[in-house]
């Protein structure tokens, strides 16, 4: 069977199981282009697979993402007798150091919000006021940037201070309440949006470009990097990547946990609520967002000390 046809069948099979399968489908289609989709599956050589996996740069986490996509594909082919052996390498390189998200300080957040209004040197696609409101929403709720950009007017109930997230990452929907201060910011933006004459249909995007169209992830990512530079926020820990827009979600989770410790709340009982609020199916998924910062470590240490002094330990 030819590679291209087999990949098409495999992608259809995985989607029939209820998976979105977007990332792996892109990798497999890229593999078909690199090898030539007309090649017989059994004729693909290990060196061709290695060339695809290695690319032209150093080994990164992407190598393992590509490998796992091909691993699932070849397991599928082997189980159906379409190939007798897999051309995947038997030895995998060591994974690079795990990515460490950046947790913004409160001072850095203030600088980012101020820079959102001043970062544009020339009039651009995005209104600075809209950008600032979007950043406030991302930090104030921990929404994924993609979730915020998909919001339509009908999804934002400002009277009830409630946002509806539809068909999120795991095909789930959820309700996200907003605090009073954030809701006031959203109300002001909604009034500005209406006064500016943007479309007011229920299906119209809540956050819009100057031309009234929906904003793409690349639009806001590029704007955020300019804002970050304007606010003079950068990593000094030697990490390879600079702070990202998505790190506002990590920051929200860490700051929420730190606040609970400071308020003396039962953090273990509240963690499942945080997980649900963030749109996670399992608590383990939330743990990825709980980077241990000095402030969080200090609060946890104080809680442990109180526990020990009260005789909680033998």
Category of 171 on φ-ψ map: left (φ > 0), alpha (ψ -120 to 50) or beta:
left
43 vs 46: CA distance, rounded Å: 10
Structural element, H or E, at residue 177: strand 174-177
Q: Tokens 């095909």 belong to which residue?
A: 171
Is the CB of residue 242 less than 8 Å from the CB of residue 217?
no
- Render 189-246 in DSSP notation, one character per residue: HHHHHHHTT---STTSBSSB-TTSPBPPHHHHHHHHHHHHHHTT----S--SS---TT
Tokens for 110, please give them.
């203030």
Burial of 3 per CB tally in 10 Å (0-12, 13-18, 19+): buried
Structural element, H or E, at residue 174: strand 174-177
253 Cβ contact list (under 8 Å, min separation 6): 142, 274, 278, 286, 289, 290
List active site positions: 144, 169
């Amino acid at each position: 069977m030819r590679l291209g046809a087999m990949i098409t069948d495999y992608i259809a099979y995985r989607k029939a199981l209820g998976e979105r399968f977007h990332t792996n489908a892109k990798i497999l289609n890229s593999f078909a282009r690199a090898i030539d989709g007309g090649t017989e599956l059994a004729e693909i050589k290990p060196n061709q697979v290695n060339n695809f996996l290695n690319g032209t740069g150093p080994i990164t986490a992407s190598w393992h993402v590509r490998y796992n996509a091909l691993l699932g594909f070849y397991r599928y082919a082997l189980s159906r007798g379409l190939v007798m052996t897999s051309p995947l390498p038997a030895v995998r390189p060591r994974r690079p150091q795990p990515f460490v998200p950046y947790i913004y300080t409160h001072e850095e957040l203030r600088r980012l919000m101020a820079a959102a209004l001043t970062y544009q040197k020339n009039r651009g696609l995005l209104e600075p006021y809209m950008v600032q409101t979007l950043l406030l929403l991302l930090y104030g709720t921990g929404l994924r940037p993609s979730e915020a950009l998909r919001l339509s007017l009908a999804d934002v109930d400002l009277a009830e201070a409630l946002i509806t997230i539809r068909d999120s990452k795991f095909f789930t929907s959820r309700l996200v309440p907003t605090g009073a201060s954030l809701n006031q910011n959203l109300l002001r933006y909604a009034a500005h949006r209406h006064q500016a004459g943007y479309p007011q249909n229920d299906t119209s995007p809540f956050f819009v470009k100057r031309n009234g169209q929906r904003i793409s992830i690349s639009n806001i990512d590029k704007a955020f990097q300019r804002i970050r530079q304007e606010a003079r926020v950068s990593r000094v820990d030697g990490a390879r990547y600079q702070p990202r827009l998505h790190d506002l979600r990590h920051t929200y989770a860490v700051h929420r946990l730190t606040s609970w410790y400071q308020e003396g709340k039962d953090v273990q009982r509240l963690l499942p609520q945080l997980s649900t609020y963030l749109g996670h199916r399992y608590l383990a998924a939330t743990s990825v967002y709980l980077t241990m910062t000095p402030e969080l470590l200090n609060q946890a240490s104080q809680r442990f000390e109180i526990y020990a002094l009260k005789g909680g330990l033998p």
